[in-house]
Amino acid sequence: MSKKHEIGTVSSALIRIAMASDLTWDESVAAMGLACKALANAAAQEGDGTIEKCLALARKRFDEAFSQNVQIDVVAQPNITKH
């Protein structure tokens, strides 16, 4: 499986989890941001760099993801609420 495909698989799983939760879409985005920070902290603890470098890379990747074109194949469920 290619890295691009694996990233898509993980992203889809995160979306399904968020849609099944009682969180609004913006609360789900906040949760994903916290997850990014937690992954960076874990990477630093595992020796992948200093906490500052890992956090900077996490932010960079998060920003890079926003620059990507996205195709929506998910049908919104009624429990996704507006902000």
pLDDT in tens, 18-55: 999 999 999 999 999 999 999 999 999 999 999 999 99
pLDDT of 76 reads: 54
Name the pTM for this structure. Answer: 0.76
User: Of 19-28, 59-68, 72-81, where does mean pLDDT reach its minimum?
Assistant: 72-81
Task: Give CA separation, 4 vs 12, 17, 20, in Å.
Answer: 12, 20, 25
pLDDT of 38 reads: 97
**75 phi, psi to nearest 5 deg:** -95, 125
pLDDT bin (cut points 50, 70, 90) of residue 16 is very high
